[in-house]
Amino acid sequence: MAQKTQPHSGDVDTFLATIADEPKRADSHALIAMMQEVSGSPPVLWGTMIGFGQYHYKYASGHEGDSFLIGFSPRKAEFSLYLLAAHEGKNAERQAGLLARLGRHRAGKGCLYVKRLADIDMDVLRDVCALTVQHMRQTYPQ
């Protein structure tokens, strides 16, 4: 079965221009600047997600594919931030400590959900991004 979500050549700025909510558009630009700096990779569209960097995974089941190291999607209700990669060990402990200081958010297994960047501490978010990039590069070396 082919992987549905893949990087494509769509223009990130054109995509962002479709966001009617000006504060959400401004927050999206701020996320792009920060995630690009932390990852060292330019923004790339993956469907309606904006990803930075890339890695290849292969599970014991044989399923494999590619994904971005970190990224986000400016959903209508809130941002989906694809950052939570560490689920056990020291990185998971560090991640939990950072999330405790982040501010107003909710978390899923692999995502943070944030309504607006003014609700969170951007320095802590930068640290979560850096930890995720470090963790993903250790887990999936090129």
- If pLDDT is split at 50, 70 and 90, which confidence band does 1 have? very low
pTM: 0.91
Higher pLDDT, 89 or 4: 89
pLDDT in tens, 39-62: 999 999 999 999 999 999 888 898
pLDDT of residue 60: 87
Name the residue among 70, 80, 72 with its Cα closest to residue 135. Answer: 70
Give the pLDDT mean for 72-81: 96
pLDDT at residue 113 is higher than 60: yes
Name the residue among 8, 54, 6, 50 with its Cα closest to residue 27. Answer: 50
pLDDT of residue 25: 97
Give the pLDDT mean for 82-106: 91
- Region label for 119, one of left (φ > 0), alpha (ψ between -120 and 50) or beta (otherwise): alpha
* Burial of 131: CB neighbours in 10 Å, binned 0-12, 13-18, 19+: buried
pLDDT of residue 4: 58
Strands 64-67 and 7-8: unpaired
